[in-house]
Structure formats: structure tokens, C-alpha cells
């Protein structure tokens, strides 16, 4: 967040939390809780950043695209295999990547929400927690999340997924309270709490 004052940062965070409340309500209705608000904001932030065009990747691959499908080094068998995979994936022939361009406000909100992940640094193993939380928010499979969060744990259970979500949301709620004086209010709303 590049706000110039704590008041502006607080107001911006409150507006993002209102948006998160709308997301949580759309997903869970009356069963939505404050933790769902934070988690849905995180899920949306990861999705927006993932959809943002990667300019560096475009620059690196620009030379490869000039050859089309028949790039140097690809055999006829490889081309046939690529087309077979595309058809099995229900892609139309010559269908390219979907191009999306998130709005500037969406990107600013996503970056601000992801900045909240810094509050997870007070965890015992913060790097594991943040990587696992982002992988989980991205919709990663449980096997990957377990490898990131608890690589030495033998059993793969849903408890780890619950623990990642709960701890991440807890650290964010604590950070919102300490840094912005924002606390949960009635329903799934948040309010300013000046003590």
C-alpha cells in the first residue's frame, strides 16, 4: 500500500474488507464469518496477480513465438502430440492463451492484500506458512500444500489445511488490529477501534 497517512491506509483497508465481505457472502451466505472475508480477499488477490500479464515472460518467449508451431527443434511427432493434448483439453485448434487485464484498482487491492502476508512473519516458520497459504489460496492440491507446510509429517490430513487457513487469517486479523486499529464487528463487517 502506498498510502500517505495511517488514516488513508485504514480507510483503504476497511474498503477492501467490505469487498471481502461481499465475496464471502456470495460464497457462503449467512454462514460466512470474518475468517472467510479475509480468506476470500487472499484468494482473489492471488488470482488477480496470477492473471496479470507477465511482461518479462513475454519478452523471454518472444523469439520462440516467431516460428509458430513448427519451431526449430520440434519434430512432427511432437507437433501431433501437442495437438492431441489440446483436443483432449477441449481447446479449439489454434486457440491461444486467454488474455485478461485486471483493472488497476483490482491490482492495487491485490498487492495491498498480499502485503498483509508480512504479518505472518511472526509465525514460528513464516516462510512455510506463507508459501503454503498462497498455494492453498491458489487452489493447489493438498499434497503440494502438505509438502510446503509440513514436509516431515507422515499423515496427510485435512487438519493441516485448516491450520494453515486459521493461522494465516489469525495473523492478518492481529496485524489489522495492531497496525490499522481494525477489528471484527457485527456480522461479517469490520470497524475502526481506537483504544
The three-state secondary structure class of 162 is: helix
Percent above pLDDT 70 for the chain = 77
Would 152 be classed as within a structural domain? Answer: yes
Would 94 be classed as within a structural domain? Answer: no
Whether residues 48 and 77 share a domain: the answer is no
70, 171, 95, 186: which is closest to 129 by C-alpha?
Answer: 171
| Average pLDDT, integer, range 141-169 | 79
What pLDDT shows up at residue 1? Answer: 45
Would 1 be classed as within a structural domain? Answer: no
User: Total domain count for the chain?
Assistant: 2
User: Dihedral sign, CA of 116, 168, 51, 190?
Assistant: negative
Would 116 be classed as within a structural domain? Answer: yes
The set of cell numbers assigned to 23 is 465475496
pLDDT(88) > 50: yes
Would 93 be classed as within a structural domain? Answer: no
90, 89, 93, 66: which is closest to 79 by C-alpha?
Answer: 93
Whether residues 83 and 168 share a domain: the answer is no
pLDDT(104) > 60: yes
Residue 194: which pLDDT band, with cuts at 50, 70 and 90? confident
CB distance 130 to 117 below 8 Å = yes
CB distance 163 to 153 below 8 Å = no
Whether residues 114 and 161 share a domain: the answer is yes
Whether residues 38 and 118 share a domain: the answer is yes
134, 149, 117, 133: which is closest to 50 by C-alpha?
Answer: 134
Whether residues 48 and 106 share a domain: the answer is yes
Would 95 be classed as within a structural domain? Answer: no
Looking at beta carbons, which pairs linking 79-85 to residues 24 or more positions away fall under 8 Å? Answer: none
Whether residues 108 and 178 share a domain: the answer is yes
Would 139 be classed as within a structural domain? Answer: yes
Whether residues 39 and 69 share a domain: the answer is no
Spatial distance between the Cα atoms of 2 and 108, rounded to a whole number of angstroms: 9
| Average pLDDT, integer, range 140-164 | 76
CB neighbour class for 33 (10 Å; exposed up to 12, middle 13-18, buried from 19): middle
Residue 64: which pLDDT band, with cuts at 50, 70 and 90? very low
Whether residues 43 and 113 share a domain: the answer is yes
Residue 126: which pLDDT band, with cuts at 50, 70 and 90? confident
Please give the biggest Cα pair distance in the chain.
Answer: 70
Whether residues 83 and 158 share a domain: the answer is no
Q: What is the pTM of this model?
A: 0.72
Whether residues 62 and 142 share a domain: the answer is no
CA atoms within 13 A on the CB side of 40: 20
Residues spanned by the domain of 66 = 56-88
pLDDT(172) > 70: yes
Whether residues 106 and 149 share a domain: the answer is yes
Would 43 be classed as within a structural domain? Answer: yes
Mean pLDDT, the chain, as a whole number? 80
What pLDDT shows up at residue 195? Answer: 64
Whether residues 73 and 148 share a domain: the answer is no
Amino acid at each position: 500500500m502506498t498510502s500517505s497517512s495511517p488514516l488513508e491506509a485504514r480507510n483503504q483497508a476497511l474498503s477492501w474488507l467490505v469487498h471481502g465481505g461481499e465475496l464471502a457472502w456470495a460464497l457462503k451466505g449467512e454462514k460466512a464469518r470474518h475468517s472467510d472475508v479475509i480468506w476470500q480477499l487472499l484468494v482473489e488477490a492471488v488470482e488477480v496477480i496470477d492473471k496479470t500479464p507477465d511482461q518479462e515472460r513475454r519478452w523471454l518467449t518472444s523469439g520462440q513465438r516467431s516460428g509458430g508451431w513448427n519451431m526449430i527443434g520440434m519434430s512432427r511427432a511432437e507437433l501431433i502430440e501437442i495437438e492431441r493434448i489440446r483436443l483432449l483439453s477441449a481447446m479449439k485448434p489454434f486457440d491461444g492463451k486467454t488474455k485478461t487485464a485486471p483493472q488497476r484498482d483490482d491490482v492495487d487491492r491485490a498487492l495491498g492484500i498480499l502485503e498483509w502476508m508480512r504479518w505472518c512473519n511472526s509465525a514460528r516458520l513464516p516462510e512455510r506458512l506463507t508459501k503454503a497459504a498462497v498455494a492453498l489460496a491458489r487452489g493447489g492440491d493438498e499434497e503440494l500444500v502438505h509438502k510446503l507446510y509440513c514436509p516431515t509429517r507422515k499423515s496427510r490430513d485435512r487438519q493441516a489445511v485448516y491450520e494453515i487457513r486459521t493461522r494465516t487469517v489469525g495473523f492478518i486479523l492481529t496485524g489489522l488490529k495492531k497496525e490499522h486499529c481494525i477489528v471484527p464487528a457485527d456480522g461479517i463487517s469490520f470497524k475502526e477501534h481506537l483504544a
